[in-house]
Amino acid sequence: MKPLSFEPLRNWFGYNRRERRASFVLIILIVAVLSARYVVPQPRQEPEIINLESVLPLDDSIRVRSNSNGTRQSFRQNLPAKKRQVLELNTCDSAALEGLPGIGPVLARRIIKYRNLIGGFAAAGQLREVYGLSDSTFNIIYKRVRADSSLVEKIDLNRTDYKRLIRLPYLEKYDVTAILKFRELQGSIMSLDELIKNKILTPEKARKVRAYMKFGE
């Protein structure tokens, strides 16, 4: 059996002795470079620290604290909430009203106009009577408004005339006519209960106008 000969393979490649040595060195270098990534430890990348105060919309109950390793975390504290400012309906202007959710320039003007018509708001619930103000909008803003009834313009029922009384949206023409006729016959009106007793006003209408009436001599 003839011994295995590599001479044909060497001849096939056509390398001389110096070329074979250079190829061997090149192979060693390639293997060394490929092995270095597994042998030499890669530099450790430090995690990026993000300033939470710059990216989180923090309110009064949220604070940022630093841990022992330098990272920052947000946590919530039980701090007293800021007291929301309540808008007084009889002294505010249209600009203040527009600051309420759902109230634009048109609704703000209507609220002011209605306030002037009736002589002021006796209760915040009267906003429901403003044309165009929906129940959903009222339910959103009713906790943010109030009405000081002491600022309502009172009508002296013993001195007023038809023109002033008819401005109240709670009274019909026949109500105003009946009140003035009763005053003419009686000389004066002592109370709304007197008008209810004599069937001049219904209890419901008397309740609505009570905050706007006074009874001077």
For 3-23, the pLDDT digits (tens) are 555 565 555 456 566 666 777
DSSP category for residue 5: -
Q: Tens digits of per-residue pLDDT, 104-150?
A: 999 999 999 999 999 999 999 999 999 999 999 999 999 999 999 99
Task: Tell me the pLDDT band of 2, cut-offs 50, 70 and 90.
Answer: low
Q: Is residue 179 domain-resident?
A: yes
Q: How far apart are CA 90 and CA 8, in angstroms?
A: 111
Whether 124 is covered by a domain: the verdict is: no
| pLDDT tops 80 at residue 163 | yes
Apex CA 8: angle with CA 6 and CA 13, to 5°? Answer: 100
pLDDT for 41 beyond 90: no
Domain count, the chain: 1
DSSP string, 138-201: HHHHGGGEE--GGGSPPEETTT--HHHHHTSTT--HHHHHHHHHHHHHHSS---HHHHHHTTSS
Q: Over 70: is that where the pLDDT of 60 sits?
A: no
Both structure tokens of 186:
């009686």
Alpha carbon 201 to its chain's center: 43
Query: What are the Cα distances from residue 76, in Å, to 55, 65, 69, 82, 214?
Result: 16, 11, 20, 15, 54
pLDDT of residue 112: 97
Pairing of strands 72-76, 62-66: antiparallel
β-pairing, 145-146 with 87-88? parallel
Q: Is 196 domain-assigned?
A: yes
Asked if the structure places residue 168 within a domain, the reply is yes
Within 44-118, where are the H helices?
52-55, 94-98, 105-118
Q: What percent of the chain has pLDDT over 90?
A: 59
- Does residue 77 lie within any of the structural domains? no
> Tell me, what's the pLDDT at 77?
52
Residue 162 to residue 80: CA distance in whole angstroms:
53
Q: Range of 204's domain?
A: 154-217
Task: Kindly state whether residue 204 falls inside one of the protein's structural domains.
Answer: yes
Kind and range of the H or E run holding 63: strand 62-66
pLDDT confidence of residue 79: 46
Average pLDDT (56-73) is: 51
pLDDT at 52 (0 to 100): 46
Contact present, 87 and 144 (Cβ < 8 Å): yes
Residue 54 scores a pLDDT above 90: no
Place of tokens 């061997």: 24
| Residue 193: inside a domain | yes
Q: Given CA atoms 156, 157, 158, 159 in this order, what sign does their dihedral have?
A: positive
78 lies in some domain: no
